[in-house]
């Protein structure tokens, strides 16, 4: 299937997840993340803030645990710059820093900017991914542009409530594949 077709299918799949199932999938995803992803060399981790009503993976579970168990890791969060079509990133200070943008997405209203080259790991939002680490995002290209600004050693980590599909038909040269993808069932590593 093409990215556009997969986008429709997976947005619908997400919509059909019940509240109880959503909670269980996110709990398992969080447990799998900490069981399979090595954070020992991570100093700055960039995470998206989930749109829970759209059933995005709930990064708050991971954020809270990192803040408790890995206090040496600084968290960075994105803000969409509508003029440049890019992401601006800020160190996460707490809930007081967040406000909803015009699309209803929580983002920082102020803060200390995070330089892209200082980021060691990025949680990449997506709808689905394939067995080679290619992903289907929301189609705006924010994260492909952002990842291209990060240092080569930066790890891109997908978080998905669903297992991978076999392949995505229309992967393009500018699409940056994932290094790792974590699902409620397992974690996948891809050659980079």
Known binding residues are 3-7, 49, 56, 135-143
**Annotation: binding site for ATP:** 3-7, 135-143
Task: Identify which of 120, 121, 124, 145 has the alpha carbon closest to the alpha carbon of residue 133.
Answer: 124
Indicate the annotated binding residues for substrate.
49, 56
Indicate the pairing of strand 128-129 with strand 121-124. Answer: unpaired
Containing H/E element for 98?
Answer: strand 98-100
Residue 128, helix vs strand vs coil: strand
Strand pairing class (187-189; 180-182)? antiparallel
Q: By the 8 A CB rule, do 143 and 107 touch?
A: no
């Amino acid at each position: 299937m093409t990215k556009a077709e997969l986008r429709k299918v997976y947005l619908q799949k997400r919509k059909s997840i019940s509240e109880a199932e959503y909670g269980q999938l996110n709990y398992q995803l969080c447990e799998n993340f900490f069981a399979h992803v090595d954070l020992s060399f991570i100093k700055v981790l960039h995470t998206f803030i989930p749109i829970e009503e759209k059933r995005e993976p709930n990064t708050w579970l991971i954020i809270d645990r990192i803040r408790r168990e890995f206090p040496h890791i600084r968290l960075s969060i994105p803000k969409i710059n509508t003029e440049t079509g890019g992401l601006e990133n800020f160190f996460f200070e707490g809930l007081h820093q967040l406000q909803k943008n015009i699309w209803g997405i929580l983002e920082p209203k102020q803060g200390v900017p995070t330089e892209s080259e200082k980021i060691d790991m990025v949680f990449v939002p997506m709808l689905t991914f394939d067995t080679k680490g290619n992903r289907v995002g929301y189609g705006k290209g924010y994260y492909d542009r952002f990842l291209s600004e990060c240092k080569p050693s930066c790890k891109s980590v997908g978080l998905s409530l669903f297992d991978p599909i076999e392949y995505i038909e229309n992967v393009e040269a500018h699409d940056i594949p994932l290094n790792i993808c974590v699902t409620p069932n397992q974690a996948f590593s891809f050659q980079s």
